[in-house]
Amino acid sequence: MTGTGESQEIRSALVSLRRSARLPIAFGGLLHDPASLRLTELSGAATPALRGLLISSGHGVGGKAVALARPCGVADYALARHISHEYDTAVAAEGLRSVVAVPVIVGRRVRGVLYGALRTPLPIGDRVFDAAVTAARDVEQALVARDEARRLLARTAAPGGGPGTEPPVQPAPAAGTGAWEEVRAAHGELRALAPRIADPVLREQLLAACARLSGAAAAPPAAPARRVVLAPREVDVLACVAAGATNAAASAALGIRPETVKGYLCSAMRKLGAHTRLEAVVAARRAGALP
């Protein structure tokens, strides 16, 4: 079934598809089960005829895209001979003629389909086709990021915790243990991934997990210390540096320019009173900003 976050990703992609290809309508959804697709998101629809429609694998344009795991299209839906016509009533009610369907594929498995359509019988041009493929790829990347976010959250959750269980504050493992390195690695991955998540609820869960992992390392100071407040991106960069990443590697992981990474690192070092990258990581850990 399509969750709230996935629906948001589909919806954003459809709006982008309509704008870039100048289409009157775009619609789609994720697989309802391994053999069927439910149309949950519509952009530009004139009627409710398509909403909630269940598309079986192999049937219609979208079902054919699911079965073949590749884009499919027709210049005139009603007259097309190489597709089945179970959905003609809904398609006619919406007035669709030229239709393209592009599968959303993650890990070699079709997860959904995006459609673009015209209300006139015209061949699908390269501009429309390319825009539909680009929109589907954007959804694929978003779903990969969401899958990875869920994996990391499960990795930091308590054993036996059910879905939605927040990672508990655990006592810090003994220094140098493999378990502690796992905590640090998970923290770095979570910090790098969070900015790529569009769903605000899931993003907040990732950041909350980061805070809990950092809090596990923070020991009460022996004496009152000056509070250091690091910007989120400064923490992101320090987390990458702590994992041994170069500025170039941190740039690739965070999706920002190497010069920007350097700027955040210099700013964090200045706040922490550090003169080297290693000193900055150590100071950030002492401040509880990193595990």
pLDDT band at 159 (very low <50, low <70, confident <90, very high): very low
3-state secondary structure of 127: helix
Rounded Cα distance, 232 and 195, in Å: 10
Higher-scoring residue by pLDDT: 84, 159: 84
Rounded Cα distance, 40 and 241, in Å: 42
pLDDT of residue 217: 52
pLDDT of residue 90: 97
The average pLDDT across 110-126 equals 94
Residue ending a domain, choose from 126, 147, 168 = 147
Domain of 280 in residue numbering reads as 157-286
CATH number at residue 55: 3.30.450.40
pLDDT of residue 163: 41
Lowest-confidence region among 127-141, 201-215, 251-265: 201-215
Higher-scoring residue by pLDDT: 83, 240: 83
Higher-scoring residue by pLDDT: 167, 250: 250
pLDDT of residue 157: 66
Residues 6+ positions from 2 with CB-CB distance below 8 Å: 10, 29, 30, 38, 40, 112
State what percent of residues in the chain have pLDDT above 70: 84
Instruction: Note whether 24 and 142 are same-domain residues.
Output: yes
State what percent of residues in the chain have pLDDT above 90: 46
Domain count, the chain: 2
**DSSP-assigned letter for residue 1:** -
CA angle 11-192-160, nearest 5°?
85
Instruction: Note the pLDDT tens digit of each residue in 18-40.
Output: 999 999 999 999 998 889 999 99
Contact 14, 27 (CB under 8 A): yes
Instruction: Note whether 35 and 69 are same-domain residues.
Output: yes
Instruction: Note whether 99 and 220 are same-domain residues.
Output: no
Distances 120 to 68, 142, 203, 240 between C-alpha atoms, Å: 26, 32, 41, 52
Instruction: Note whether 116 and 187 are same-domain residues.
Output: no
Contact 65, 104 (CB under 8 A): no
Do the domain assignments include residue 14? Answer: yes
pTM of the model: 0.65
Instruction: Note the pLDDT tens digit of each residue in 219-252.
Output: 454 444 557 888 888 988 988 888 888 999 888 8
CA-based end-to-end distance of the chain: 36
Do the domain assignments include residue 22? Answer: yes
Instruction: Note whether 17 and 92 are same-domain residues.
Output: yes
